[in-house]
Chain A
Amino acid sequence: MIRVESLTKVFRRPRTFPGVLGSLRTLVTRQYEERVAVDDVSFEIPRGEVVGYLGANGAGKSTTVKMLTGILTPTSGLVEVDGRVPWRERTANARAVGVVFGQRSQLWWDLPLIESLRLVGDLYDVPADRFTASLRRMRDLLGLDDFLDTPVRQLSLGQRMRGDLAAAMLYEPPILYLDEPTVGLDVLAKQAVREFIADTNRDGRTTVVLTTHDLADVEALCKRIILIDKGRVLYDGGIDALVTAYAPPRRLVVHLAGAAEDTRTFDLSGDTPVPELIGQIAAEHTIRDLSIEEPGLEDVLKRIYAESAG
């Protein structure tokens, strides 16, 4: 369904010089700066899968998504979406793909939400009966009825995001790219977005590529993640396997009794005998409470990003 092979994107920009004279120099310079945004990335995503595409800020996630939509051409490598090369068959690819950016909206700010949705119906030439059926599904799933006739600028962020999801899926594309769809949303709105994605993917109807920094999204929706860093694939596989492979040690957290708040933590590497450790601590202090923290995906990523940055 989606096949990416040795995908590389190098941005080439005129070198910028500081200052007022510098900006003039920038205009005429023949010196260029090159930045590798995506570096030899390969993966395959079969039909109907929900994949988390993760990485720190600036890792090259959005650039990959732009190449998958055909807006950007790669510097080298191969991309195939549904058997098509996106930038060669841009129009056909456009019909097969829905895109949501958490940070940007495709809705017309000053017009009621329904106007933007009708425009999408026209742009993708959705037949009237299919449009009505699709819109009804969106209204039910996303609870659009309360604000369908409200100008988009008056919508809350959560409502706006629900409107954007509806706009991206109205023409029922088989592929959905979601770029940080839950950024800035409250817990209930996040839940609504996740339920919509899960429902959209039900029966393997829609392939979803999800880019996010909210790992709860990933844990709720994806079985597989692709982790990229500095433009390269760092990990591709199941979440459980990643946590096992990269997991930092479990930690024992002990709250000691006393006037002041006193908390101590101990790393439990492989063979530390926990009862003995607790016994030692109890001999010296009065323990008020204790817990063992299991590492999650967040701890794993924190560790990977930190190692990569350092």
Chain B
Amino acid sequence: MIRPLTGTARIGLRYQFAYRSDVLMAVLALVAQVFLLRMVWTAVYGERQQAQGLTLEALLAYLTLANLQAFAITPIITRIAHFRIRTGMVFFDLSRPTGYLPQLAAFQAGHTLGGLLLMAPAVPVVLLVGSITPTAQPLGYAATLILGYVISMMMSLLICMIGFWTLETGAISLLYRLISQFFAGTMVPLSFFPGALGAFAQALPFQYMGYVPAAVYVGRLTGPDVLQAVLVELAWIAALTALLWLVWRRAHRRVVINGG
């Protein structure tokens, strides 16, 4: 039964287009951010050829890509679910013949697709500002990015579930966004993180939303490292699936027992 999901995805896409002026502003902010990062990092590098094995060109390409990806991946469902739980509109989502989590996931997928369509015209500008050249590992890049997107989606679904306990998830969503963007490596590549912080970042799943695919693109990760990244991503997806299933069962029972 795919039609309920494509229908919901269409709503997600239309929702993105209903706010297209917001998207334009966000794209402008993205271009500005990439431009500022370029200035800062150019000054930091100075006369140096490279740092931590990264040339300035590779670093700039990396940062541009990581930000572009993080921007495209940014979840909407945490806000949607929060609003609908708080207003009781979630009643309608729960009374559909289709499951609640598939509905949220489909909405997010449609919304992301809408975002990609809207930002498409800006991509050449961003690529130019970030001086990005084609990658030598298109397959590895696509695989790590798509799996990273799935991980991001599942993390967002987990955040959505919190609303069934606390009703108020605005602050949690904001915190999640800050933490996930930082540990995805959108400001500083993960390989620059010192000792314990680096190990901590490596242990978290956020790197797969930014750092890992971008590092594959610029050739920082190659061959067996890419394969290993894909395997770890698959393991994360398996673990998050189990966790999500457990949390959803408890959340659903909570609704069923305590009311909306």
Contacts and interface: CB of A to CB of B under 8 A. Distances in A.
Interface of A: 11-13, 63, 66, 69-73, 87, 91, 94-95, 97, 99, 101, 104-106, 108, 110-111, 115-116, 118-119, 121-125, 151
B112 interface: no
Chain A residues touching B, majority SS: mixed
Given A72-B256, A104-B87, A95 B11 contact: no
B98 A71 contact: no
B258 A71 contact: no
Contact of B260 (A66, A73, A118, A119): A66
Contacts of B88: 104
Interface string B1-29: 10110111011001100110000000000
Nearest to B256: A73
A104 B95 contact: no
Which of B7, B95, B257, B258 has most chain A Cβ within 10 Å? B95
A95 B96 CA distance: 8
B97 A71 contact: no
Interface string B110-154: 000000000000000000000000000000000000000000000
B174 interface: no
Chain B residues touching A, majority SS: helix
Interface in B51-91: 87-89, 91
B255 interface: yes
Contacts of B96: 94, 123
Given A71-B260, A104-B91, A94 B97 contact: yes
Given A123-B7, A125-B4, A97 B95 contact: yes
B94 interface: yes
14 contacts: A11-B258, A11-B259, A66-B260, A70-B95, A73-B256, A91-B97, A99-B91, A99-B92, A104-B88, A105-B89, A108-B11, A123-B7, A123-B8, A125-B4
Contacts of A70: 95
B198 to A, nearest CB: 34
